[in-house]
């Protein structure tokens, strides 16, 4: 019977109100204990998880939207300069080509440095002849670029995109063209200086004629080296023809006629020797007209 009071006393103690609880204190988090979210290959999920995309660098497969500017300056000496800016990586090799009438072509190599490039001057010392030209700037094939450049653009340039990018079997090409005009009149010759210049050009044309004569040995046996001699003679003829553009019309006309006949004299065809005979007559007529030109004939080009 003695156990009942003890149980009752225990129940009374359990039912008594307790002391108020102490305020809940939340400890400050330990920065060293914070775990960063695990990286993910999903770019959207990565941004949501707090990842910051890294900038494009060598070895990444992110596209590069290429831009390539071309500017042509023709100074008073008639020898153009080509330059511009681009976002192609420094060290990128560019081929700068100038093209004009009568199959005129000349090239220079430029390298990108600090986002810019420059090439030239182009043309002979006496300047390029009057006419319309085009300057084409093209990135060399990706496989020929320095290793540091290929690390950015890709081995085949596959990371390059944009309006200037052209797909090809040998890798992508980057190319931009700018047309321009040369006015050789600003550097025209007159008076006895023009006559002296015309005589020098005639001497050069006579050398081209001699090349055509000598090529007959190659033409007779269909020697494959004839093509190389023809190219050499054509280059010389083009340079002389451009030089004549600065002369007064009375001198320029006969020189042009002789140049046109010489084009057929320096071919690797069987009839070229006969054309050399015609060119010889044109040269002789030119020599007479230059020698007999009057003061009025030697006035500057308008």
On whether both 192 and 163 belong to a single domain, the answer is: no
* Token pair in block for residue 77: 């000496």
- Does residue 56 lie in a domain region? no
- 3-state helix vs strand vs coil in the chain, percent to 5: 40, 20, 40
Rg of the chain over Cα atoms, rounded to whole angstroms, equals 40
Q: Of 123, 153, 185, which residue sits at a domain end?
A: 185
Pairing status of strand 173-182 against strand 93-99: unpaired
The answer, yes or no, to whether residue 76 has pLDDT greater than 80, is no
Q: Of 140, 170, 185, which residue sits at a domain end?
A: 185
Q: Which domain holds residue 124?
A: 64-185
User: Residue 212: what pLDDT?
Assistant: 93
- State how far the alpha carbon of 57 is from the alpha carbons of 50, 51, 62, 78, 178, in Å: 21, 17, 9, 42, 31
| Dist CA 260 CA 104 (whole Å) | 15
- Does residue 222 lie in a domain region? yes
User: Residue 52: what pLDDT?
Assistant: 35
The sign one gets for the Cα dihedral 225, 231, 234, 240 is: negative
On whether both 78 and 179 belong to a single domain, the answer is: yes
On whether both 179 and 200 belong to a single domain, the answer is: no
On whether both 255 and 231 belong to a single domain, the answer is: yes
Confidence class for position 177, pLDDT limits 50, 70, 90: very high
Tell me the backbone φ, ψ of residue 177, rounded to 5 degrees.
-125, 140
Q: Of 157, 185, 213, which residue sits at a domain end?
A: 185
- Does residue 25 lie in a domain region? no
- Does residue 37 lie in a domain region? no
The answer, yes or no, to whether residue 57 has pLDDT greater than 80, is no
On whether both 120 and 201 belong to a single domain, the answer is: no
In this prediction, residues 258-274 reach a mean pLDDT of 91
Tell me the backbone φ, ψ of residue 236, rounded to 5 degrees.
-65, -40
Q: What is the DSSP letter of 246?
A: T
Average pLDDT over the chain, rounded to an integer:
80
User: The domain spanning residue 108 has which CATH number?
Assistant: 2.60.40.1940
On whether both 179 and 141 belong to a single domain, the answer is: yes
Domain count, the chain: 2
| Dist CA 119 CA 124 (whole Å) | 15
Structure confidence by residue, pLDDT tens digits, 198-221: 999 999 999 999 999 999 999 888
On whether both 180 and 196 belong to a single domain, the answer is: no
Structure confidence by residue, pLDDT tens digits, 4-51: 443 333 333 344 444 445 554 545 545 444 343 444 444 334 433 444
On whether both 168 and 199 belong to a single domain, the answer is: no
On whether both 159 and 197 belong to a single domain, the answer is: no
């Amino acid at each position: 019977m003695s156990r009942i009071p003890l149980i009752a006393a225990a129940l009374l103690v359990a039912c008594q109100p307790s002391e108020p609880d102490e305020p809940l204190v939340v400890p400050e988090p330990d920065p060293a204990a914070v775990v960063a979210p695990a990286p993910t290959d999903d770019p959207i999920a990565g941004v949501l998880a707090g990842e910051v995309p890294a900038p494009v660098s060598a070895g990444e497969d992110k596209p590069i939207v290429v831009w390539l500017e071309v500017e042509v300056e023709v100074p008073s000496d008639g020898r153009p300069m080509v330059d511009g800016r681009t976002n192609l990586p420094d060290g990128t090799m560019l081929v700068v080509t100038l093209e004009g009438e009568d199959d005129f072509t000349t090239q220079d190599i430029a390298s990108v440095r600090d986002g810019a490039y420059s090439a030239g001057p182009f043309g002979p010392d006496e300047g390029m002849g009057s006419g319309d030209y085009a300057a084409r700037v093209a990135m060399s094939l990706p496989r020929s670029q320095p290793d540091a450049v290929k690390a950015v653009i890709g081995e085949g340039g596959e990371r390059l995109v944009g309006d200037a990018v052209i797909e090809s079997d040998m890798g992508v090409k980057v190319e931009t063209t700018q047309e321009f005009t040369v006015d050789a009149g600003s550097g025209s010759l007159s008076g006895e200086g023009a006559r002296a210049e015309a005589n020098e050009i005639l001497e050069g044309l006579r050398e081209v004629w001699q090349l055509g004569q000598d090529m007959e040995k190659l033409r007779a046996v269909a020697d494959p080296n004839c093509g190389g001699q023809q190219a050499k003679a054509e280059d010389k003829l083009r340079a002389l023809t451009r030089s004549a553009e600065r002369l007064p019309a009375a001198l320029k006309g006969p020189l042009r006629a002789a140049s046109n006949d010489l084009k057929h004299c320096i071919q690797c065809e069987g009839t070229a020797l006969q054309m050399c005979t015609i060119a010889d007559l044109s040269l002789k007529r030119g020599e007479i007209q230059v020698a007999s030109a009057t003061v009025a004939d030697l006035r500057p080009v308008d």
